[in-house]
Amino acid sequence: MMKFALVEDQVMFRSLLHRLLVEECKGKVVLEAGSLAELRAKVEVLTTADLLLLDIRLPDGDGVDFVDEMVKRQVSVPVLLFSSSCEDYIVHRVNRSFVQGFVHKDEDPKVLLTAIQMVAAGGAFFSPRFVERQRALAKTPDTFEKKLSPREQELLRYIGAGFSDAETAAALGMTASTAQTHRRNVMAKLDLHSAKDLQAYALRTGFTTIDRLQ
């Protein structure tokens, strides 16, 4: 019997996924959580799972960041990410992570079932919406990933959410003047001319969300 770990903060959607895993996949949910804090508290159970289904945007953090954390902690479990968003920055980060799959929440349930079966069997699966956006980005010559360094992309997650230079510096371990210089460079490279333009770009491309805006 397949053992699943399920992390999703929306209770109704999590219940539907739980039922699908038990009834359609004939599996057992050995870990269920609504936040990264709950998941970290049960990490020893996570190591017994055959597959982790992980939402990207959780109340206390980011699913892709947690995958990086798993790698550092040497927790080896196949990961299938899912999200209601598929903006450019999410596609970029998923592409560079160690996950085996991604499914958009608006896809048909059959797509999710296919993804679970393929990833659990040791393969990989990325849903049609993800692949479509992935291909579009590859053909676009002036995307942020071609203009900004990894450090600048990381910084845009904070300044795009409205963090001050001092707050960004504290979060990223740099001086406020360095954060200010990075901010100016990011805006110049992206041809943005105000904090409003910067936040609009960060929202549009998935560097931040309405919930994170300060």
The two tokens of residue 107 are 């896809």
- Cα distance between residue 199 and residue 35, in whole Å: 26
Residue 108's Cβ-count burial label (10 Å; 0-12, 13-18, 19+) is exposed
What's the pLDDT score for residue 214?
Answer: 57
Q: What is the pLDDT of residues 105-135, one digit of tens each?
A: 998 889 999 999 999 889 999 999 899 999 9
E strand intervals along 78-120: 79-83, 101-104
Conformational region of residue 74, where left means phi above 0, alpha means psi within -120 to 50, and beta covers everything else: left
pTM for this entry: 0.84
Distances in Å between the Cα of 84 and the Cα atoms of 72, 104, 106, 123, 186 are 27, 6, 7, 23, 27
What's the pLDDT score for residue 142?
Answer: 84
What's the pLDDT score for residue 208?
Answer: 85
Report the CATH architecture of 144-212.
Orthogonal Bundle (1.10)
What's the pLDDT score for residue 125?
Answer: 96
Identity (one letter) of the amino acid at 126?
F
- 199 Cβ contact list (under 8 Å, min separation 6): 160, 161, 162, 208, 213
Q: CATH 3.40.50.2300 region(s) of the chain?
A: 3-138
Q: CATH 1.10.10.10 region(s) of the chain?
A: 144-212
* CATH class of segment(s) 3-138: alpha beta
Each of the 214 residues of the chain gets a pLDDT tens digit; together they read: 899 999 999 999 999 999 999 999 999 999 999 999 999 999 999 999 999 999 999 999 899 999 999 988 888 899 999 998 888 999 999 998 889 999 999 988 899 999 999 998 899 999 998 999 999 888 888 889 889 999 999 999 999 999 999 999 999 999 999 999 999 999 999 999 998 999 999 989 888 887 776 5
